[in-house]
A and B are shown apart, each in its own frame.
Chain A
Amino acid sequence: MKILQAQGLGKTYRRGGQVVEAVRQVDLAIAPGEILAFLGPNGAGKTTTIKMIAGLIRPDRGTVAIADQNPHRDPHALRQLGAVLEGNRNLYWRLTPLENLEYFGVLRGLSRTEARRSGRELLERFELSHKRDAAVQNLSRGMQQKVAIAVALVHHPKLLLLDEPTLGLDVEATQTVKGLVQEIAASGCAILLTTHQLDIAEALSDRVAIIRAGAVIAEQPTQELVRQFSGASYQIELEGNLEELLEAGVRSRLESQGIVMQGNRLFVRGAEALYEVLELLRPAPIFQVKKDAADLTEVFLKLVQES
């Protein structure tokens, strides 16, 4: 059973004669309790995708189903959805956390009593009860973000969308939010999360989807992806820039073998290839050769920089 199923999503923006193909081909699926990290460089199309899933942007192509309902046609689908979108805090600054929870709960279809009860529980769970009656604008940024997440959960949705939930938070607040995300998923909610902090993505996510220029280029369980890349992957670092140290002919041969080159580094997959590459590099001065115990950051960079 999948809570979210998005298939073949595509969106092109046209404004003032400019045409931006923001999303070209995106398929995503998330099961209950699963955390999917949706990663990609700036402008890759993450926010556009998230907003298409939430029904805020109409896709040109493709379909979205949240618990088998289409949010673009059936507003009831939105009962199953909570979202904290990028940018500001999605809250009324002059209201207290509890008042915000109560208001948004009713907006999501709860009665006042239900919204209040759910709000109180969430504040308790998020350790915000002591700030229940302070105006949101007087809270720290970290607390505001916690309230925003609580608001997104007030109606007990099955799918939570988080667009850069740790943006602008300090180390401690980031840790808190991380913990909350894990806890929310543990309670059975499916989570789609974007972030540029890849250590967070690696620690939190069950699966990763990497998007580049509007298309998903990799989608795998996080640990598998990392393992696959670290298994037999080597990094050779020269004592100077590749452009200066290697002749053009050598460089194009390396390139034709699928070796990724970047600054003073080469990324090589497989032990066989490593020896061949070393042979090709002779007599360029090598600074070090190391086996890539890749982390998600490196995997990400390689995937995104490969063409």
Chain B
Amino acid sequence: MKFPLLELFLAELRRTWIQFIRYPSEAIVGIFIIVITFYFLFAGASYIAGPDAGLSGASGSERLEVLVVGYIISILVISVLSTTSNSLEQEASTGTLEQIFLSPFRSLTVFIMRAFASLSLRLVIVGISLTAILLITGTQLRFPLALVMPLGTLLMSAYGMAFAVAGLVLVVKRVSQVLGAVQFGLFLLLGSPVETMEGWGRAIAFCAPMVPSAGLLRDLMARELPLNWGLYGIALANALFYLGLGFLLFARSERIAKQRGLLSGY
């Protein structure tokens, strides 16, 4: 066996996709909810703004595109966080979680491989939802290749948060309720174009998790701007910071959980 990490990644990939393909109903319902929710938000927004404000007008259509990108980013991030905590809570209760800690691989390594594997599924689900939204609303987005760069930093900070959440699940167990509130905050933060704010608001927006990457994605996909390298540097620093913080908190939590005998059960 020459590449144990590759073997592990492929095993995680198989596990993820087999479970999805065998029981696709949850994912399909999920896609429906994502699309319907957007539809009502969109309808609600144009209703509140009134026909004159015209989300379908010239500048209105750009606003809609910005809205779609922000929406799909928040959905992606929230689904990463919630699948992490849900699957971990479930694995703690069925006893598979402990088996992961019985592996000669470091648990952080296993969870990173899991993150990559489940990301492939998340991207497909969110991709399908996005396509449906674009078709229904008649919006058009650009998908330049440079897109992968801010998407990468977005996912790095998202997984940083996911690892922090995973650590919390190890120690506290039930985090679903807390997570609900966090998700709402993220929804507002990522869904609104904070990158256009000025002064202190802008500075804070750069420090908040994922926000600079979200701004870049809106620039690229909705505002037809080229990649701003200065901003990208900030996004990358932001991503590295949150990813490192997530790893640190996870490792910390694992130690506490082993100290207090909390790995699954009790």
Contact = CB atoms under 8 A, between A and B. Distances in A.
A56 B103 CA distance: 11
Contact of A89 (B95, B100, B110, B260): B95
B95 A88 contact: yes
A56 B1 contact: no
A51 B261 contact: yes
Most chain A beta-carbon contacts within 10 A, residue among B104, B110, B260: B104
Contacts of A268: none
A92 B101 contact: no
B143 to A, nearest CB: 33
A298 B163 CA distance: 51
A94 B19 contact: yes
Given A56-B98, A88-B94, A93-B94, A110 B19 contact: no
Contacts of B98: 54, 56, 83, 85, 90
Nearest to A92: B96
Contacts of B94: 88-93
A257 B111 CA distance: 60
A30 B264 CA distance: 27
B95 A85 contact: yes
A263 B259 CA distance: 42
- In which size bucket is the chain A interface? 35 or more
A102 B102 contact: no
Contacts of A102: 11, 14
Given A55-B101, A75-B106, A78-B102, A91 B1 contact: no
A151 B110 CA distance: 18
A305 interface: no
A109 B18 contact: no
B105 A95 contact: no
A275 interface: no
Contacts of A92: 15, 19, 94, 96
A15 B260 CA distance: 8
A48 B261 contact: yes
Contacts of B261: 11, 13, 22, 48, 51, 56-57
Contact of A109 (B14, B96, B105, B258): B105
Contacts of B14: 99, 102-103
Interface residues of B, number: 34
B23 interface: yes
A104 interface: yes
Contacts of B11: 102-103, 106-107, 112
Given A88-B93, A102-B11, A106-B8, A94 B22 contact: yes
A79 interface: yes
Nearest to A80: B104
Given A89-B94, A90-B94, A108 B19 contact: no
A107 B99 contact: yes
A114 B1 contact: yes
A111 interface: yes
Interface in A91-133: 91-95, 99, 102-104, 106-112, 114
B224 interface: no
A17 interface: no
Contacts of B263: 51, 56-57
Nearest to B22: A94
Contact of A87 (B95, B100, B255, B258): B95
A73 to B, nearest CB: 13
A299 interface: no
Interface string B1-19: 1001001101100110011
B144 interface: no
Interface string A5-30: 00000010111000000100000000
A87 B105 contact: no
Given A99-B18, A112-B11, A107 B95 contact: no
B265 interface: yes
A78 B93 CA distance: 22
Interface of A: 11, 13-15, 22, 48, 51, 54-58, 75-76, 78-79, 81-83, 85-95, 99, 102-104, 106-112, 114, 135, 151
5 contacts: A51-B261, A55-B101, A91-B94, A102-B11, A111-B1
Given A56-B258, A103-B11, A135-B22, 13 more contacts: A11-B261, A22-B261, A51-B263, A56-B261, A56-B263, A75-B105, A85-B264, A87-B95, A94-B19, A94-B23, A99-B14, A102-B11, A110-B1
